[in-house]
Structure 1
C-alpha cells in the first residue's frame, strides 16, 4: 500500500481503476477494511499496529 503522509491515508490500486483508501486513524481504531469510492469492492488490510506511522496532531 502507498501512504500519503500529508493526508494520513493509505491507498491501494483497485481493479476498476480508482484506489482503495483507509485513514491511518481508522487503522489505529481497529478498522481493517479499505473501500473503493468508485465501486463496491473492499479489501481487508493486514497490518501490525507497531509498524504504523505516528498520527499527526492537528494544529488548531
Structure 2
C-alpha cells in the first residue's frame, strides 16, 4: 500500500497532446507524469522522479477505456521481432 502525498483529479493535470502525457507540478519543482496509455490500463498513481512523492490520480476509468479504433490499431501492429 502506498502512502499518498495528495489525491489529485485528472482535470487538474495539464495534458500534452503531442506526447499524450498528463503532468502536474510537484512541490520539489519537478512534476508528476502519467501517460494516457497508463490511465487506459487503470494506473491510479504517479511518482515524482526527483523526490519520490506519490500522488493518487482520481479519474473515471470509463472515460479512458480505449476506443474501438484504438483497439483495432493495436491489433494491426505486427509483433516485435526479438534478436539474440
TM-score range with shorter-chain normalisation?
0.7 to 0.9
Q: What residue in structure 1 maps to residue 25 of structure 2?
A: 13
**How far has the Cα of 1:9 moved from its partner?**
0.5
Higher alpha-carbon Rg: 2
Aligned length: 58
Please list, as runs of the form range in 1=range in 2, the aligned pairs for 1:20-31 lying within 5 A after superposition. 20-31=32-43
Moved over 3 A (4+): 54-58
Any gaps of 5 or more consecutive residues in structure 2? 1-12, 78-84
The TM-score with structure 2 as length reference comes to 0.59
Decide whether the 8 Å contact of 2:42 with 2:61 is kept in 1: no
**How far has the Cα of 1:7 moved from its partner?**
0.5
The TM-score with structure 1 as length reference comes to 0.79
